[in-house]
Structure 1
Amino acid sequence: MNSRGDTISTTAVDDMSVDWKGRPCKPNKHGGMTAAVFVLGLQAFEMMAIAAVGNNLITYVFNDMHFPLSKSANIVTNFIGTVFLLSLLGGFLSDSYLGSFWTMLIFGFVELSGFILLSVQAHLPQLRPAQCKMISENCLEAKGYKALIFYVALYLVAVGSGCLKPNIISHGADQFRKEDSKQSKKLSTYFNVAYFAFCMGELIALTLLVWVQTHSGMDVGFGVSAAAMAVGLISLVSGVALYRNKPPRGSIFTPIAQVFVAAFSKRKQICPSNTEMLHGNQNNVPNHLSAASTNTTNLLHTEKFRFLDKACIKIDDGSESPWRLCTVAQVEQVKVIISVIPIFACTIIFNTILAQLQTFSVQQGSAMNTHIAKGFQIPPASLQAIPYIMLIFLIPLYETVFVPVAGKFTGSDSGISPLQRVGTGLFIATFSMVSAALVETKRRHSSETLSIFWIAPQFLIFGLSEMFTAVGLIEFFYMQSSEGMQSFLTAMTYCSYSFGFYLSSLLVSLVNKVTSSSSKGGWLSDNDLNKDRLDLFYWLLAALSIVNFFNYIFWSKCHSDHNSSSSSSSAINPPNGFCGEDLEKQSFNLSKHNGANNIISN
């Protein structure tokens, strides 16, 4: 909004991006895939560092810190859950105060310090409980200052990694100017390349780094993670001259809070039948309210959640404060956030399944034959590398073959819509738990020790499902966000991981309580998988997964219907009336409709 009250177009907002010295960016010098590559370097090396710790952490907690198996599993899931929950903090700090680059740099060093402290504790015997060959009364778990050091180190890693993750994705995506149609089309490609970098980091962590942990000790393994994190930070800093940086815009929660306060204060008002009468739906926003709208793209009015439209009802001569009168753009952004919550919730069970693969499936592999050649054993945690070996070949095929072929039928640059991609992954994930349950049943009743490769299918199936769900969800949330909220909404995708891992801990405790009796413990109460009923727990997750898939179909259809009805009722139909519609395309069309006189261009 300028001094005349004219509407600032998406293009103008996007051109507010600055270089590292605070000067306006130049299209031929800043941004693009070249700049994004340096961010993807941090993505790969940070993923390598954190995956080497997270995926084999249960081995360290169980064998070195001597926590019981169920408690060890909960420590791991709580740690990983905290990592992803803290992504909200990282997204908020980035969008509101620090900017994505400085948020990544600061918390990258926090994560690095955690890896170093873990390495020091693993190296010094006096900082760990006394070693023993088996769990017994003389093999006590870590307590006192030893446990304190462990938790401090672990959660330094969690804080650092959590605040990094959403900013890596959003900062890389910000390198593409969405008003440029050629660069905008590259966004979908970028998300696939980002997932490829993620897979490469995971693959190296689960093979080379886990092998180092197994054969050279956890201290050396944690040290290698610290070195990988340092290389990632060097990669980030190396591209500083090429980045397009989005300046922070102040608290992102204030405009959202204003909508709810204004709507509640006018709850007895009746919404006008003519939406043109709503404040901000025309170019008549007073100057003193312009600041409230700078955090939002000029979104089209929609018919969903009409009670929020009451925040835009004018009841005096225009002297109302931003806490009494909001613009349509503000209200529509709040509607977007509300509408994506059910989609977000449907991915929690998906990540609960992931939690099992990083905890109980690793212990499942430990109870099997790990020999693959004379004198060589495969670490159970390394089995998680199998899907990533598959994915480094599948992702390029997906981008070069599937996307163009599917695009001919759907008309979408990304082949299928983000919501369709998420749904495909959720359906496939169910069969990962079916496979895990069948293999565990066979392991329990087999007279011979099964090869560890029997559990490979559950990892392969889930890896395939993750390629669809994880990338689709990140793309969906990023495309739904308006200017100034990309990092925060991207962080919501990581919160799904957090809630999934927390739900795993809750399910373990709940299942143990429900299935225990006075004569025996619950399904997962023993430290011996031959006595536990892990197979039944896997069947329970398979059932929850298929129920969750049908729940997702319902909510994704509702989201699609909302978009379609909004398109049909609007004076100008957005170019894509399907699930996951790009709201910035709506803004671009609205700007054209308002006329060139109301646009501040370059």
Structure 2
Amino acid sequence: MAGNKVETAAGENFKEEAGVSHDRRHESPCSFEEILVDWRGRPTCQPNQHGGMTAAAFVLGLQAFEMMAIAAVGNNLITYVFNEMHFPLSKSANIVTNFVGTVFLLSLFGGYLSDSYLGSFRTMLIFGVVELSGFILLAVQAHLPQLRPPKCDMMASTAGGHHCLGAKGFEAWIFFLALHLVALGSGCLKPNIISHGADQFSKNDSKQFRRLSTYFNCAYFAFCSGELVALTVLVWVQTHSGMDVGFGVSAAVMAVGLLCLISGSAFYVNKPPRGSIFTSIAQVLVAAITKRKQICPSQLEMSHGSQDTGPQGFSSPSASAIGLRHTEKLRFVENGCIRNIQNRTGTSESRWRLCSASQAEQVKILISVVPIFACTIIFNTILAQLQTFSVQQGTTMNTRIAKNFRIPPASLQSIPYIMLIFVVPLYETAFVPIARKVTGKESGISPLQRVGIGLFIASFSMVSAAIIENKRRNFALEFNKSLSIFWIAPQFLIFGLSEMFTAVGLVEFFYKQSLEGMQSFLTAMTYCSYSFGFYLSSLLVSSVNKITSSGPSGGGWLSDNDLNKDRLDLFYWLLAALSLVNFFNYLFWSNWFSYSPSLPPTAGESETGRC
């Protein structure tokens, strides 16, 4: 009986805390739930002097300048790798997609370091310098002939039957070292830029919390602005002044971004790191596996519900999770909350054998976001094609737009950002207020609905790309003429519109599902999706080449350096089909998902994630 009383009290404590957590959202911004310090590590509780949109503006400055620098390199990198380093076209495309994939994969490492040990501000400073050093090394290599292969026309060498000498040895080592420095720096920066800016808006201040969706739209606007300048001004500099000058300008722009970040130091509120975020998760999973054969009680009161008795490593980074409500999904995780009979007298059990109900709910949240994350991978595989093969498409087309002016093929990627510079503010000022009246949701539509709309639109980008590539190829083979480069603009425009929905919706979704102390890491999952998408692109290119090369013709769809001999249009059709199948898969998982109980949906929004 004594044991049952303790268990019931623990369960009641869990329920009581759930109500407390909800009420605290309306308290002052300096609620004890949040531990905030200034840049010197001193506790701060001055909402008028720290945080808010003023502080976030400096972070948005870094977002714009860093994106400007990395986009100028990444979006035109295939031209440098193919024409200057002399790698074959398919290998050049894979180098670029692997580079971009590595950037985004390393965002998980940056998020982990920030949440566990360094804090977001310090992480951004350290890895901003690492990224800057990579840009400088790229500029040095592009400037010094002894660090590059001898000049050679790759297209002419293919037609003439001889081959250009590709980069190898020390040349290749310098090149890949520079790329990996840029990838490490940019990857560790990205999730912290988003989360540090969002941290300036207190979840305990209802007015500030309502501005969080506006901040995410502003962050995407800064992203678009940086991309636009990179794809017009900086790519033009690379094309007309040389890649060495272009890489040097990227380094200078990155330095300006770091100065912008440092300038806002006095205004930031910072969330200090709270120790390893993985140990506590592992403890919950080990406890659940150890007790996997035990029957989980149907009532929460029968399990260990006290948050206070949980492992220090888990309760510390999840203070706001005290009020998590019980959910019925993924019940196997709750096995770790079951007390052993011999320990029901109050004897403490090992943290690797017993966890609290709140801790189990936290792990449920982490597991339940994985399917949503996985459904965005194909979306980013499409993005990889626009940054590689679509740019190469442009090199085979008529780039003249005036008598003495030609548009660099990489600048085609600026077209959607020109559109988005106007569409994003219109979305925030016109669409959101109208949608808010219809749905009753503060952000107009839920993050999951926003992601779903974007995934659906993305399929049509590849449909457009396939149709135009078929037309371009036939026109070149039959008439030996080149179509205008603007024929491939629609595939960029359509994808740009889809990205506005998917990218912003996904970032907002992950941040709002995050537990205290894990914002940077879960935000990094957005970028990890980009990473897997680019890696999948490399795998698809290699697999498609291997499969299609086994036919009677002996040539794969993407095996030649000449797009007129390849069948890029068929590859685009394959991606369109995969994207459509992925959209229906997303509909299933978005209906299965339940929003985090620790972050109640806004008025009028149910807890299910229906798209």
**Residues 1:468 and 2:468 aligned together:** no
Contact 1:293 1:327 in 2 (8 A): no
1:18 corresponds to which residue?
37
SS at match of 2:401: strand
2:254 corresponds to which residue?
229
**Which among 534, 547, 552 is matched to residue 514 of structure 1?**
547
**Residues 1:505 and 2:538 aligned together:** yes
Contact 2:67 2:223 in 1 (8 A): yes
1:65 corresponds to which residue?
85
Letter in 1 for 2:284: V
Contact 2:592 2:608 in 1 (8 A): no
Distance 1:261 1:13, change over 3 A: farther
SS at match of 1:43: helix
For 1:73 and 1:491, how far apart are their aligned partners in 2? 24
**Residues 1:241 and 2:266 aligned together:** yes
Contact 1:77 1:502 in 2 (8 A): yes
Task: Give CA-to-partner distance per residue, 1:367-391, whole Å, 9 cap, x none.
Answer: 0000000011000000100000000
Q: Which runs of 5+ in 2 are unaligned?
A: 1-12, 26-30
CA RMSD of aligned residues (A): 2.2
Deviation at 1:563, TM superposition (A): 5.0
1:193 corresponds to which residue?
218
Contact 1:108 1:160 in 2 (8 A): yes
For 1:169 and 1:443, how far apart are their aligned partners in 2? 40
Deviation at 1:139, TM superposition (A): 1.3
Greater Cα offset, 128-137 or 181-190: 128-137
For 2:570 and 2:269, how far apart are their aligned partners in 1? 51
Q: What TM-score do the two structures reach when normalised by structure 1? A: 0.91
2:585 corresponds to which residue?
551
2:400 corresponds to which residue?
371
SS at match of 1:207: helix
Distance 1:464 1:192, change over 3 A: same
- Counting only pairs closer than 5 Å after superposition, residues 150-229 of structure 1 correspond to structure 2 as 150-229=175-254
Contact 2:440 2:603 in 1 (8 A): no
Contact 1:91 1:487 in 2 (8 A): yes
Deviation at 1:24, TM superposition (A): 1.9
For 2:605 and 2:225, how far apart are their aligned partners in 1? 33
Letter in 2 for 1:249: R
Q: Which runs of 5+ in 1 are unaligned?
A: 582-602
Distance 1:554 1:580, change over 3 A: closer
Letter in 2 for 1:22: G
**Residues 1:387 and 2:420 aligned together:** no
Contact 2:135 2:248 in 1 (8 A): yes
**Residues 1:478 and 2:511 aligned together:** yes
Contact 2:441 2:602 in 1 (8 A): no
Greater Cα offset, 291-300 or 121-130: 291-300
- Counting only pairs closer than 5 Å after superposition, residues 22-33 of structure 1 correspond to structure 2 as 22-25=41-44, 26-33=46-53
SS at match of 1:372: strand
**Which among 275, 279, 292 is matched to residue 314 of structure 2?**
292
Distance 1:237 1:554, change over 3 A: same
1:358 corresponds to which residue?
387
Contact 1:70 1:525 in 2 (8 A): yes
2:124 corresponds to which residue?
104
Deviation at 1:519, TM superposition (A): 4.0
Q: How many residues align?
A: 570
For 1:71 and 1:547, how far apart are their aligned partners in 2? 28
2:10 corresponds to which residue?
none
Letter in 1 for 2:414: A
Contact 1:169 1:194 in 2 (8 A): yes
Task: Give CA-to-partner distance per residue, 1:565-592, whole Å, 9 cap, x none.
Answer: x89xx9x9997424459xxxxxxxxxxx
Distance 1:181 1:126, change over 3 A: same
**Residues 1:492 and 2:525 aligned together:** yes
**Which among 554, 562, 575 is matched to residue 528 of structure 1?**
562
Letter in 1 for 2:330: F
Task: Give CA-to-partner distance per residue, 1:64-117, whole Å, 9 cap, x none.
Answer: 000000000000000000000000000000000000000000000000000000
Contact 2:276 2:313 in 1 (8 A): no
Contact 2:279 2:313 in 1 (8 A): no
SS at match of 1:261: helix
1:426 corresponds to which residue?
455
2:277 corresponds to which residue?
252
For 1:373 and 1:579, how far apart are their aligned partners in 2? 54
2:28 corresponds to which residue?
none
Indicate the percent of aligned positions where both proteins have the same amino acid: 74
Deviation at 1:492, TM superposition (A): 0.6
For 1:458 and 1:154, how far apart are their aligned partners in 2? 28
For 1:192 and 1:451, how far apart are their aligned partners in 2? 34
SS at match of 1:86: helix
Greater Cα offset, 17-26 or 429-438: 17-26
Letter in 2 for 1:372: I
Letter in 1 for 2:405: F
**Residues 1:56 and 2:89 aligned together:** no
For 2:174 and 2:541, how far apart are their aligned partners in 1? 26
Greater Cα offset, 112-121 or 307-316: 307-316
Letter in 2 for 1:523: W
Deviation at 1:540, TM superposition (A): 0.5
For 1:350 and 1:395, how far apart are their aligned partners in 2? 20
Contact 2:442 2:602 in 1 (8 A): no
1:455 corresponds to which residue?
488
Letter in 2 for 1:394: V
Task: Give CA-to-partner distance per residue, 1:38-81, whole Å, 9 cap, x none.
Answer: 00000000000000000000000000000000000000000000
For 1:20 and 1:366, how far apart are their aligned partners in 2? 48
For 1:290 and 1:144, how far apart are their aligned partners in 2? 50
1:78 corresponds to which residue?
98
For 1:74 and 1:379, how far apart are their aligned partners in 2? 21
